[in-house]
Amino acid sequence: PDPSRGRAALVAFNDASGTVYPQDIALLMDGDGIAVRAGKHCAQPLHQALGASFGSARASCGLYTTKADIDRFVKSLRANLELL
Protein backbone atom coordinates (compact mmCIF):
# COMPACT_ATOMS: atom_id res chain seq x y z
CA PRO A 1 0.00 0.00 0.00
CA ASP A 2 0.99 3.59 -0.60
CA PRO A 3 2.23 4.94 2.78
CA SER A 4 1.15 8.47 1.87
CA ARG A 5 -2.51 7.45 2.11
CA GLY A 6 -2.46 7.70 5.91
CA ARG A 7 -3.27 4.10 6.78
CA ALA A 8 -3.02 2.83 10.34
CA ALA A 9 -3.54 -0.49 12.07
CA LEU A 10 -5.13 1.04 15.16
CA VAL A 11 -7.69 3.61 16.15
CA ALA A 12 -8.12 5.38 19.48
CA PHE A 13 -11.58 6.71 20.23
CA ASN A 14 -13.86 8.24 22.84
CA ASP A 15 -17.56 8.77 23.28
CA ALA A 16 -18.44 12.15 21.75
CA SER A 17 -20.31 13.27 24.88
CA GLY A 18 -17.20 12.82 27.02
CA THR A 19 -19.21 11.09 29.74
CA VAL A 20 -18.41 7.43 29.02
CA TYR A 21 -15.34 5.89 30.60
CA PRO A 22 -13.20 3.98 28.07
CA GLN A 23 -12.75 1.27 30.71
CA ASP A 24 -16.54 0.70 30.71
CA ILE A 25 -16.54 0.31 26.93
CA ALA A 26 -13.64 -2.15 27.15
CA LEU A 27 -15.43 -4.20 29.81
CA LEU A 28 -18.69 -4.37 27.88
CA MET A 29 -16.98 -5.20 24.58
CA ASP A 30 -15.02 -7.94 26.33
CA GLY A 31 -18.40 -9.51 27.11
CA ASP A 32 -18.94 -9.66 23.34
CA GLY A 33 -15.56 -11.34 22.85
CA ILE A 34 -13.89 -8.19 21.53
CA ALA A 35 -10.70 -6.94 23.18
CA VAL A 36 -9.86 -3.25 23.20
CA ARG A 37 -7.39 -1.42 25.40
CA ALA A 38 -8.53 1.43 27.63
CA GLY A 39 -6.60 4.13 29.43
CA LYS A 40 -4.05 6.76 28.54
CA HIS A 41 -1.71 4.42 26.63
CA CYS A 42 1.46 6.18 27.86
CA ALA A 43 0.19 9.35 26.17
CA GLN A 44 -1.02 11.44 29.09
CA PRO A 45 0.08 14.79 27.58
CA LEU A 46 -1.82 14.04 24.37
CA HIS A 47 -4.98 13.08 26.25
CA GLN A 48 -4.68 16.24 28.35
CA ALA A 49 -4.25 18.40 25.23
CA LEU A 50 -7.31 16.76 23.65
CA GLY A 51 -9.38 17.22 26.80
CA ALA A 52 -9.79 13.46 27.15
CA SER A 53 -9.36 13.26 30.91
CA PHE A 54 -10.63 9.65 31.04
CA GLY A 55 -8.15 8.50 28.37
CA SER A 56 -9.37 6.61 25.33
CA ALA A 57 -10.26 3.17 24.08
CA ARG A 58 -8.04 1.70 21.39
CA ALA A 59 -8.67 -1.06 18.87
CA SER A 60 -5.92 -2.64 16.81
CA CYS A 61 -5.99 -4.63 13.60
CA GLY A 62 -3.57 -7.31 12.51
CA LEU A 63 -2.87 -9.17 9.31
CA TYR A 64 -5.48 -11.71 10.36
CA THR A 65 -8.26 -9.14 10.97
CA THR A 66 -11.16 -9.64 8.57
CA LYS A 67 -13.95 -7.35 7.45
CA ALA A 68 -16.30 -9.54 9.51
CA ASP A 69 -14.17 -8.84 12.62
CA ILE A 70 -14.43 -5.11 12.00
CA ASP A 71 -18.19 -5.38 11.45
CA ARG A 72 -18.51 -7.25 14.80
CA PHE A 73 -16.45 -4.53 16.48
CA VAL A 74 -18.65 -1.72 15.11
CA LYS A 75 -21.86 -3.57 16.03
CA SER A 76 -20.62 -4.19 19.58
CA LEU A 77 -19.39 -0.62 20.03
CA ARG A 78 -22.70 0.86 18.87
CA ALA A 79 -24.77 -1.46 21.05
CA ASN A 80 -22.65 -0.86 24.14
CA LEU A 81 -22.60 2.92 23.72
CA GLU A 82 -26.40 2.80 23.71
CA LEU A 83 -26.32 0.98 27.05
CA LEU A 84 -24.15 3.68 28.60
As annotated, the active-site residues are: 42
CB atoms under 10 Å from CB of 57, counted, come to 24
Q: What is the DSSP string of 15-59?
A: -TTS-S-HHHHHHHHHHTT---EEE-TT-HHHHHHHT-TT-EEEE
CB 55 within 8 A of CB 47: yes
